[in-house]
């Protein structure tokens, strides 16, 4: 297949004609096969073609996790909603938009995260105490050395 160039995305109406400017117009029925499903590709008279681009309605996947001989755990993994399993966090990063059967995952494990957060809170509380609590030396008058 020769290389092709993306021109623009079009959204066909439910019925009637699809206006394609330079390529003319095309009846919407020509975009469907005999069963009524969208055709993968429609070649136009000028040599251009329309390609069906599947975009998932929901960016989510089903994840099945198993630790050792335990029963597998099935969880829904969605964008911005990671799944946590035995200290690991699984993130849905992307998907394969050509075949629609593959997702890109990111797995992260950070066992020291709670210690770091605890340390940050200790620094914040200590800074606040230094600002609001007067020390005993601040109430003494300054003395000059001769």
- Position 121 scores a pLDDT of 96
> What is the rounded CA–CA span in Å between residue 124 and residue 127?
5
Asked whether residue 46 falls in the same domain as residue 65, the answer is no
The parent domain of residue 96 ranges over: 57-129
Residues 74 and 86 in one domain: yes
Tokens standing for 13? 């109406």
End-to-end CA separation in angstroms for the chain = 94
DSSP for 125-146, please give it: HHHHHHHHSPPGGGGSPP----
Let me know if residue 9 belongs to a domain: yes
pLDDT at 126 (0 to 100)? 92
124 belongs to a structural domain: yes
Nearby residues of 95 by Cβ (< 8 Å), 6 or more positions away: 56, 59, 61, 102, 103, 104
Residue 136 lies in a domain: no
Helix ranges, the chain (H):
113-132
Q: Are residues 83 and 40 in the same domain?
A: no
Whether 78 and 110 share a structural domain: yes
70 and 37 share one domain: no
Residue 137 lies in a domain: no
Q: According to the model, what pLDDT value does residue 59 have? A: 74
Positions in the chain whose pLDDT score sits under 70: 1-8, 52-58, 96-101, 134-146
Domain count, the chain: 2
């Amino acid at each position: 297949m020769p290389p092709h160039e993306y021109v623009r995305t079009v959204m066909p109406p439910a019925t009637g004609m699809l206006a394609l400017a330079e390529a003319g117009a095309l009846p919407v029925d020509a975009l469907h096969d005999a069963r009524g499903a969208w055709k993968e590709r429609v070649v136009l008279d000028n040599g251009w073609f329309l390609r069906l681009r599947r975009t998932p309605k929901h960016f989510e996947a089903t994840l099945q996790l198993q630790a050792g001989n335990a029963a597998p755990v099935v969880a829904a993994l969605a964008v911005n909603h990671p799944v946590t399993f035995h200290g690991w966090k699984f993130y849905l990063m992307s998907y394969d938009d050509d075949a629609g059967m593959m997702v890109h995952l990111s797995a992260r494990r950070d066992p020291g995260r709670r210690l770091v957060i605890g340390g940050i809170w200790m620094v914040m509380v200590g800074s606040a105490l230094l600002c609001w609590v007067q020390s005993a030396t601040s109430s003494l008058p300054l003395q000059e050395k001769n």
